[in-house]
Chains A and B, each alone.
Chain A
Amino acid sequence: MDMSFSPEDEAFRAEVRQFLADRLPSRLSEKVRLQQELTKAEIEEWHATLNERGWLAGNWPKEFGGAGWTAIQRHIFEEESARAFAPRVLPFGIAMLGPVLQKFGSKEQQDRFLPRILNGQDWWCQGYSEPGAGSDLAAVKTTAVRDGDHYVVNGQKTWTTLGQHANWIFCLVRTRTEGKPQEGISFLLIDMTTPGITVRPIVLLEGTPEVNEVFFDDVRVPVENLVGEENQGWTYAKYLLTHERTNIAGVGFATAGLAALKRIARAQVANGKSLLDNPLFAARVAQVEIDLMAMSTTNLRMLAQAAAGQAPGVESSMLKLKGTQIRQAINDLTRRAVGPWALAFPSEALEGANDDRPPGPPEAAAATRAYLNNRKLSIYGGSSEVQRGIIAKQMLGL
């Protein structure tokens, strides 16, 4: 057994760390550290910096302009990025659509779309969920009806993350109503500037319009924007989900969150004592740290399996479930750590445009928001209940 990283991997880690030290501006890392919302321009700036180095698409093969990293290298990059409070790479184009186009898209689609994902010309969003299709994704009702060289799309998508910034959306649409629901779904690429599309923001309970509703009213989409074959979209969607799950445990986020939690707690003083010296609070922090130590190793065991050529299986459901519990526990403790300042709820605070500084330590306003926002972790990407169902059926055969 050798649980250490290879010398090559350690050299890679040093390279990533140096790059982050050289190229990550503190105005970005400070916002990430304080869990403030990044503007579209700031996200694009960081993507461009990574792309210049050839590191934007770590998961893509080199032939498509990616970095061609191993699972271990991707893990190291994510770990170092989290440690340095670098903005995360948005998953929609890079982690989700890219692998689908590379596997199932036509040569024309690959040549047309992949470079534009890398150079930032296109901002993609995900059109999966609908008001009536959440955990039961196969129930999508948005229709695409063939009319000559076009599909005519009607319906509604929802929970479209950062759709307000996007100029393209990849959608699951219904192209057949008879037969099994899974066998009538197609994977369609839609230009958001097409007439008939309306985007309406949904403000979440932490006060930010992170997600949107997207309405389609007789939207005409050229047939060449169909990925793969008609009615095979469910297969592509499932493939996409396995790619979405390589970093599903969120070890990097949890590690950075725990470090931030300890720093906040150490600075909080009650009755002359640091909060970290409060036995009850210290025990709660220790508990989550111990859980994270074990979960990181579970994650590495899965990565080692992936490196040995085994596809991620039901283990990714356990990682999603446990990773979510740990991250939400850290969010909860961080909210508690700021004590009375967790009462303030200044919605301008995260936007940085208002001079009215929130009271308390600078992390305070963000702590409550992050707690509220990260309730989503156990809901999206297959809720915790869906993951438990997968584990029970696929792993235990119940």
Chain B
Amino acid sequence: MEFGFTDEQTMLGESLAGTLERSSDPDALMELGAGAALLSEDHGGFGGTGPDILMVFRTVGRAAAVTPLLDSVLLGAGILAAAGETDLAEQAASGGIRIAVALDEPGQRFDGTVATRAEGDRLTGEKSLVVGADSATHLIVRATDGLYLVDATAEGLTRRSYPLMDGGRASEVSLTDVPGRRIGDADLLDRPIAAAILAVCADALGVMERAVELTTEYLKTRKQFGRPIGSFQALQHRMADLVTEVEQARSAVWNLAGALDTPDRDRHVAATKSLVGRVACYVAEETIQLHGGIGMTEEYELAPLARRLLAADTRFGDCDHHLGRFVEMSAA
């Protein structure tokens, strides 16, 4: 039995962390192979396994970096690869094209309801929360009868973009008689979305590790009543609970990484996303509280981390949604 990364994965993680310290420029990340690490060899990459995804996104999370790795590569290129569009997948993984995946619609709530319709390969409908749509060259649009590839500049497509809690951007996308090319059925989404959920959880794990480091350091240096506040037992015990829960999250992420390409995948998706989402919110709340006033400020490093943790819970279904899915699967 072995828990850990291969030497190659560890090396990639280290060089990725080093690069992210300087910048999160997408070209630099792709040049490093961070994109190719998310695709299997069959699809022109050199990784794509659960641990590869874990390593890349935990590293990205630690740096709280905003990158196209999740939406354009893991999800976008992953869907294209699953659809047999290998050339496009490789281009997405190397940064040549940028994909945004349009799944959600107004009026749905984590339930995947779709009303967007295709008539003779022309799409009409409304898409919500399309992450990275404003910088995308292509959109993958989920319609009632399957998945379509759409040129982001096509006539009849409008994007209204806004910022997200995790520092990225998403758009409300309106499609009116937009030409598209059908690339396959909606079940092509299963593995890429499971992989994306692993990525969100691994990212949150990295964020939590960083938030714990910041908070521990703060408790050692901040003085009140004439001594470091970390010497107070009330705060020590809260920190002990915090790191114990983060350890649970780490194990949950490993569980999903190990099960990503097994028949047990969906059960682990639900278990891991539920646990990590719950712990992520808990860590956000506790690290703010343990910092006191400074934890409330935008200027301090914790603010983007806390927001990113809340976003991690919400994205692809929050902890209650996945707890419910776990119950359904247990009953089946």
Contacts and interface: CB of A to CB of B under 8 A. Distances in A.
B225 interface: no
Contact of B254 (A279, A297, A387, A398): A297
Nearest to A1: B51
Interface residues of B, number: 42
A318 B271 contact: no
Interface in B230-246: 230-231, 233, 235-237, 239-241, 243-244
B323 A286 contact: yes
A357 interface: no
Interface string B247-286: 1111110110110000000001001001100000000000
A329 interface: no
B1 interface: yes
B280 to A, nearest CB: 14
B327 interface: yes
Contact of B257 (A1, A4, A301): A1
Contacts of A318: 243-244, 247
Given A3-B258, A4-B1, A321 B275 contact: no
B327 A283 contact: yes
Interface string B171-203: 000000000000000000000000000000000
A307 B327 CA distance: 35
A392 B236 contact: yes
17 contacts: A2-B2, A3-B3, A9-B1, A72-B1, A291-B248, A294-B252, A304-B2, A318-B247, A385-B237, A388-B241, A389-B233, A389-B236, A392-B230, A392-B237, A396-B230, A396-B240, A398-B239
Contact of A279 (B4, B230, B268, B327): B327
B52 to A, nearest CB: 10
Interface string A298-339: 101101100100000001001001100000000000000000
Contacts of A177: none
Contacts of B243: 318, 391, 395-396
Contacts of B248: 291, 294-295, 298, 322
Interface string A376-392: 00000000010111011
Contacts of B252: 290, 293-294, 297
A6 interface: yes
A276 interface: yes
Interface residues of A, number: 45
Interface of B: 1-6, 50-51, 216, 219-220, 230-231, 233, 235-237, 239-241, 243-244, 247-252, 254-255, 257-258, 268, 271, 274-275, 323-324, 326-327, 330-331
Given A277-B331, A293-B271, A396-B216, A5 B255 contact: no
A1 B251 CA distance: 13
Given A283-B324, A297-B254, 19 more contacts: A1-B50, A1-B51, A1-B257, A279-B327, A283-B327, A286-B327, A289-B330, A294-B252, A294-B271, A294-B275, A296-B251, A318-B243, A321-B240, A388-B237, A388-B241, A391-B239, A396-B219, A396-B239, A398-B239
Contacts of B220: 397-398
A9 B327 CA distance: 31
B197 to A, nearest CB: 14
Given A294-B251, A397-B216, A398-B231, A282 B240 contact: no
Contact of A389 (B2, B240, B271): B240
Contacts of A4: 1
A300 B237 contact: no
For A279, A293, A321, A385, the residue with the greatest tally of chain B CB atoms inside 10 Å of its CB is: A293
Given A1-B2, A397-B216, A387 B240 contact: yes
A293 B326 CA distance: 12
A287 interface: yes
Contacts of A277: 331
Contacts of A290: 252, 271, 274-275, 323, 326
Contacts of A293: 252, 255, 268, 271
A307 B271 CA distance: 28
A389 B3 contact: no
Contacts of B216: 396-398
Contacts of B250: 298
A133 B327 CA distance: 45
Contacts of B327: 279, 282-283, 286
Contacts of A1: 2-6, 50-51, 254, 257-258
Contacts of B324: 283
B230 A398 contact: yes
Contacts of B251: 294-298, 301
B195 to A, nearest CB: 15
A75 to B, nearest CB: 10
B326 A286 contact: yes
B1 A287 contact: no
A294 B220 CA distance: 30
Nearest to A4: B1
Contacts of A391: 239-240, 243-244
Contacts of B241: 321, 388
Contacts of A303: 1
A350 B236 CA distance: 41
For B235, B257, B323, B327, the residue with the greatest tally of chain A CB atoms inside 10 Å of its CB is: B327
Given A286-B326, A387-B240, A397-B216, A298 B233 contact: no
A398 B219 contact: yes
Contacts of A393: 236
Nearest to A276: B331
Nearest to B267: A293
A6 B50 CA distance: 20
Contacts of A322: 244, 247-248
A395 B240 CA distance: 9
Nearest to B244: A318
B291 to A, nearest CB: 14
A3 B54 CA distance: 15
A82 to B, nearest CB: 19
**Which are the 9 A-B pairs with shortest beta-carbon distances?**
A392-B236, A388-B240, A297-B251, A391-B240, A398-B230, A3-B258, A294-B251, A388-B237, A294-B252
B1 A2 contact: yes
Nearest to B259: A3
B252 to A, nearest CB: 4
Contact of A294 (B239, B255, B257): B255
A359 B320 CA distance: 36
Contacts of B326: 286, 289-290
A77 to B, nearest CB: 15
B194 to A, nearest CB: 16
